[in-house]
């Protein structure tokens, strides 16, 4: 059984002006996401600035989210690392604290071989019982999970159940679904490719756009899953300018700017990320107005 179907939000981490995590604001955001129809919360992912969190902050953010969500929808903890030992410890802590699943990004910077990826993921997932979604985003990590590698992992490691595919390579996604015989939960990792991945057997998206438009992304996925392919496709195409604006600079710079423009007061970014540049801010504001967010 899938951890979730539909739209999971890759939620931002709100910060105070002193760059501490703003848990009061995170609490508000979680409630808004649930009220907006989001199907799962993904905490401490790339969009949540996990790369600049200490291990203690990482675990506390997951623990807080699990407690506040309180089983209303699944909570998926981003516990991947370029250090296998660290990923194991974060994953065990997330399991202890009640997360419903794990999101495990490929080990960045190290650029593991395919055999290294098999060893990395196998070791992590044999230390926990939680279902795991592997996260393939080679543009950020410099490391690509090849379809054959993913199929081998799914076949041999029982709790590897899904993949968040953000390679942008539709042909590779088709190969994944072919080699896995459909026995994998496929989630789009790109907001501009949700419908194409659904057409290949996907069951949802782990979305940045859901931070600002949770109901929209949920409805787009469920229209497709309920048979309204034409309606879902129109929503996908209508959202493209907004998706482009949310990635006009490296994520999560634009989405945090968007939330602040909406009055959500999610605060600043941790270095080395910087505030959005003026020209991109104009692009973002225009897209938000056209999309009905401002």
CA neighbours within 13 Å on the CB side: how many for 66? 20
Instruction: Give CA–CA dist 139/134, Å, rounded.
Output: 15
Please tell me which residue in 108, 121, 135, 187 is annotated as part of the active site: 135
Q: Is 135 a catalytic residue?
A: yes
Please tell me which residue in 25, 121, 164, 187 is annotated as part of the active site: 164
- Pairing state between β 101-105 and 75-78: parallel
Can you tell me whether residue 9 is helix, strand or coil? Answer: strand
Residue 47 is assigned to a ligand binding site: yes
Residue 160 is assigned to a ligand binding site: no
Instruction: Give CA–CA dist 145/184, Å, rounded.
Output: 14
Contacts of 17 (CB under 8 A, 6+ apart): 267, 268
Instruction: Give CA–CA dist 210/222, Å, rounded.
Output: 14
Of 43, 5, 45, 3, which is closest to residue 188 (Cα–Cα)? Answer: 5
Annotated binding residues, written as ranges, equal 47, 206
Q: Which residues are catalytic?
A: 135, 164
Annotated binding residues for pyruvate, written as ranges, equal 47, 206
């Amino acid at each position: 059984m899938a951890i979730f179907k539909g739209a999971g939000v890759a939620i931002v981490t709100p910060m105070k002006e002193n760059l501490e995590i703003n848990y009061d604001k995170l609490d508000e955001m979680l409630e808004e996401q649930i009220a907006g129809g989001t199907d799962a919360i993904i905490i401490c992912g790339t969009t949540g600035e996990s790369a600049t969190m200490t291990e203690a902050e990482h675990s506390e953010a997951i623990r807080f989210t699990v407690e506040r969500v309180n089983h209303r929808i699944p909570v998926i903890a981003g516990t991947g690392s370029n250090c296998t030992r660290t990923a194991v410890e974060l994953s065990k802590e997330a399991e202890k604290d009640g997360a419903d699943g794990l999101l495990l990004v490929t080990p960045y910077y190290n650029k593991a071989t395919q055999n290294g990826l098999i060893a990395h993921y196998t070791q992590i997932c044999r230390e926990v019982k939680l279902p795991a979604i592997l996260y393939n985003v080679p543009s950020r990590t410099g490391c690509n999970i090849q379809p054959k590698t993913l199929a081998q992992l799914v076949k041999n490691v029982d709790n590897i159940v899904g993949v968040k595919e953000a390679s942008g390579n539709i042909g590779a996604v088709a190969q994944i679904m072919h080699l896995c015989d459909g026995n994998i939960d496929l989630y789009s990792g790109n907001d501009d490719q949700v419908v194409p991945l659904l057409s290949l057997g996907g069951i949802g998206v782990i979305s940045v756009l859901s931070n600002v438009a949770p109901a929209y992304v949920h409805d787009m996925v469920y229209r497709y899953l309920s048979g309204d392919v034409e309606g879902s496709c129109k929503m996908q195409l209508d959202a493209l300018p907004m998706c482009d604006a949310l990635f006009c600079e490296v994520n999560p710079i634009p989405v945090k700017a968007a939330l602040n423009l909406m009055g959500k007061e999610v605060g600043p970014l941790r270095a080395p990320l910087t505030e959005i540049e003026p020209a991109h801010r104009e692009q973002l504001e225009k897209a938000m107005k056209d999309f009905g967010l401002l």
